[in-house]
Amino acid sequence: MTKTLRAGITAIGAYAPAKVLTNDDLSKFMDTNDEWISTRTGIRRRHVAADDEFTSNLAVSAVLDMQRRYGEEVLEGVDMVIVATNTPDAYFPSTAAMVQNYFSLKAGAFDLLAACPGWVYALSVAQAYVESGICKKVLAIGSEALTKLIDWNDRSTAVLFGDGAGATLVEAVEEPFGIKSMILGADGEGGKYLYARATGKSLLDGTEITDHVYMNGREVFKFAVRVMNTSTIEAIEQAGLNSADISLFVPHQANLRIISAARERLGLPEEKVVVTVDEYGNNSTASIPLALTHAVDGGRIKSGDNLLLVSFGAGLTWAASVLTWGGTK
């Protein structure tokens, strides 16, 4: 009998820019303060890419961190690179191709755009490639330089976002490890509530084309609270588990109030939730892999733990997954 392949995460790495912008820093040039921001969002600091630091640089740094953790040989045999991002260096070539070139990988490469849930979407694609046998090792990265799209005069969005990247290696693992469920969804009707149009210069006349991030915070908050509840329950049920089986909840780091509401509805204690929004703000696609890396570094994840991942964002889109950590490479 042919053994069924199951994909899992076997290596991880992350990176955040050195420059830090605190709430007090923001208060020096906009009408806000630390209390106003932290009580509404839980955010206290965010990391900001340097002027010459872009999404590809962040992604490469996250993969370099993976190599520091597992050795340079960790990338041997990678045959696909996926970069989930909303802020690519260019429309083309893909940011993933830039990463592929930097590490001289003999691999296919493409970018994936699904807003903040993009990395979970990339994880689902990597899972499909591995479990179908199309690929053996997939590098799935979430990387964002969102602050380059921010209107720093818009208090409703400028306080929320930060830059960073998280990289994961996906390949076949032994039972009972690996990805147990994957829930993906979208509601294009809500696209008007959160968007950013193309940014750059026209090749025809050099005219600047700029439109910064726009968000209807009230509508996005209502959507997020609802979908965080429904999608996580679906993911747990699809995995054949219940809330008591979840070892650690790793949600998209957009807003502490949204995270707390989801935790309470799932009946999980605070110690079972990873929170990094205070340090990094909303890193969009990089949010979950960066939080995962912090949890690993903090000794909060061990082999055999059931992890619950969930994200939501523009589109409107959402994604949730349950995976069991560990397994042999």
Which is the catalytic residue, given 23, 57, 86, 116? 116
Q: Active-site residue among 57, 86, 255, 282?
A: 282
295, containing H or E segment: helix 287-297
Does the annotation count 57 as an active-site position?
Answer: no
Task: Look up 86 and say whether it is catalytic.
Answer: no
* Cα 254 to the center of its chain, rounded Å: 11
**Do 282 and 149 form a contact (C-beta atoms < 8 A)?**
no
Q: Is residue 242 flagged as an active site residue?
A: no
3-class secondary structure, 203: coil
Residues 6+ apart with CB under 8 A from 10: 169, 170, 171, 173, 327, 329
User: Looking at 135, 252, 255, 294, which residue is catalytic?
Assistant: 252
Strands 208-209 and 20-22: unpaired
Contacts of 144 (CB under 8 A, 6+ apart): 55, 58, 85, 86, 87, 163, 164, 165, 283, 284, 285, 286
- Cα angle value 290/296/302 (rounded, 5°): 140
Dihedral pair phi/psi, residue 153, rounded to 5°: -95, -5
Indicate left, alpha or beta for 118 from its phi (over 0: left) and psi (-120 to 50: alpha): alpha
Catalytic site residues?
116, 252, 282
